[in-house]
């Protein structure tokens, strides 16, 4: 039953991404084009998401288990470090260049959008590269 609920929540999230326009790279790039033909409509989508997130995290912080009975695992760190800043810059650059971020790219891929396939392949390669570099760094640190 839990897998069905997880699927349903993912499906609702995906439909929300489609309805909000987050799966349309042209709309996303229009939102990010602050000095050109700026399209502010996604600001309302993001504002709504932030508002929902504020309430959700306020509730989650008071719980020890999630609504499906699993352990509640919230991030503990509040530190802004070099890795976070660099990761944010890389994420933002990729989002600005491609008009996709991971969630909308996966939804677009599932709906047959060919450009999303290229982004998802690049994303997966980036994730593999990161994992390899992390292993190398850990080996050097422990040596």
Q: 112 is written with which tokens?
A: 């047959």
DSSP letter (8 states) at residue 71: B
Q: What is the pTM of this model?
A: 0.77
DSSP letter (8 states) at residue 21: T
Is 143 a residue whose pLDDT tops 80?
no
DSSP letter (8 states) at residue 53: H
Which tens digit of pLDDT belongs to each residue from 91-142?
Answer: 989 888 899 999 999 999 988 888 899 999 999 999 999 999 999 999 988 8
Return the number of other C-beta atoms located less than 10 Å from residue 119's C-beta: 23
Q: For residue 122, with 0-12 CB atoms within 10 Å meaning exposed, 13-18 middle and 19 or more buried, which class applies?
A: middle
Which residues, 6 or more positions from 104, have their beta carbon under 8 angstroms from its beta carbon?
17, 22, 23, 28
Closest-CA residue to 109 (of 28, 25, 7, 41):
25
Q: What is the pLDDT of residue 2?
A: 79
d(C-alpha 103, C-alpha 8), whole Å: 15
């Amino acid at each position: 039953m839990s897998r069905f609920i997880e699927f349903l929540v993912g499906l609702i999230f995906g439909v929300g991404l489609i309805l909000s326009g987050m799966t349309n790279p042209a709309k996303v790039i229009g939102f990010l084009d602050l000095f050109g033909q700026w399209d502010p409509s996604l600001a309302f989508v993001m504002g709504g998401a932030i508002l929902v997130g504020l309430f959700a995290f306020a509730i989650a912080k008071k719980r020890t288990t999630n609504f499906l009975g699993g352990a509640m695992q919230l991030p503990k760190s509040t530190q802004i470090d070099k890795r976070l800043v660099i990761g944010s810059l890389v994420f933002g650059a990729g989002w600005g260049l491609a008009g996709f971020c991971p969630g909308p790219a996966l939804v677009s891929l599932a709906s047959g959008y060919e450009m999303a396939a290229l982004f998802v392949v690049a994303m997966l390669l980036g994730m593999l590269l990161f994992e390899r570099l992390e292993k190398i760094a850990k080996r050097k640190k422990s040596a």
